[in-house]
């Protein structure tokens, strides 16, 4: 498969590139000097695309199947400026970045519908859809250079206003920079600068 000149394979137990992935790629704010960190890389498509337009990319995922998938796609594209790390958010991340990306697990999932497996971590945002988003917003600033940016994808189902408010409290200037209506929700891209 191919998107925006990146070849990729989809992998079992790994989130396949979808509308939210493409919304992020199509609206990335990148330049060739940037060091980029992607949290939750999935198949690696976003990071591989970013690596072609930035200085370096570090990409992590909590799902070990995703790590193998990213590595396979990095090899397929002969990318040589991408570092792949298994990590729960920033747990194993070092250094400072110009841009941090995260297509978050943003769907609200009731407690009795929660499934405790690797694949579900791609979309399960807990009862209010914010379980991972809130942790991410509180931790991200520590890994950004001065003037650095965050771009995160979520849904109207997981409270865009709360994200904008939390980012403002953390010292960011934040706004919704792209949206796409899909089925019963709006997918939103929120961009925030320190």
Using CB under 6 A, list all residues that contact ligand SAM: 15, 17, 21, 24, 39-43, 45-46, 60-63, 66, 88-89, 103, 105, 121-123, 132
Least Cα distance to 66 among 134, 17, 139 occurs for: 17
DSSP state of 43: T
**Min CB(134)–ligand SAM separation in Å:** 11
Q: Which residue, 84 or 147, is less far from ligand SAM as judged by CB? A: 84
Q: Which residue, 107 or 164, is less far from ligand SAM as judged by CB? A: 107
**Min CB(159)–ligand SAM separation in Å:** 17
**Min CB(78)–ligand SAM separation in Å:** 20
Sign of dihedral through CA atoms 127, 23, 166, 99?
positive
**Min CB(161)–ligand SAM separation in Å:** 21
Q: Residue 107: CB partners within 8 Å, gap ≥ 6?
A: 123, 124, 125, 129, 155, 157, 158
Query: Where do the H-state alpha helices sit in 77-192?
Result: 131-140, 160-169
Q: Which residue, 39 or 192, is less far from ligand SAM as judged by CB? A: 39
Neighbours of 190 (CB within 10 A): 23
Contact 35, 190 (CB under 8 A): no
**Min CB(106)–ligand SAM separation in Å:** 7
């Amino acid at each position: 498969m191919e998107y925006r000149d990146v070849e990729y394979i989809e992998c079992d137990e790994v989130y396949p590139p979808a509308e939210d992935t493409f919304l992020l790629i199509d609206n990335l704010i990148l330049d060739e000097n940037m060091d980029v960190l992607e949290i939750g890389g999935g198949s690696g498509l976003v990071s591989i695309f970013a690596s072609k337009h930035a200085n370096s990319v570090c990409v992590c995922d909590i799902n070990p199947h995703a790590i193998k998938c990213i590595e396979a796609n990095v090899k397929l594209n002969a990318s040589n400026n991408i570092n792949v790390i298994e990590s729960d958010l920033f747990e194993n991340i070092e250094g400072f970045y110009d841009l941090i990306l995260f297509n978050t697990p943003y769907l609200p999932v009731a407690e009795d519908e929660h499934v405790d497996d690797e694949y579900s971590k791609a979309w399960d945002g807990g009862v209010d859809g914010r379980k991972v988003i809130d942790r991410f917003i509180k931790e991200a600033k520590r890994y950004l250079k001065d003037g650095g940016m965050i771009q995160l994808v979520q849904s109207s189902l997981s409270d865009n206003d709360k994200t904008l408010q939390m980012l403002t409290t953390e010292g960011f200037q934040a706004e919704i920079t792209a949206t796409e209506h899909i089925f019963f929700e709006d997918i939103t891209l929120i961009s925030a600068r320190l």
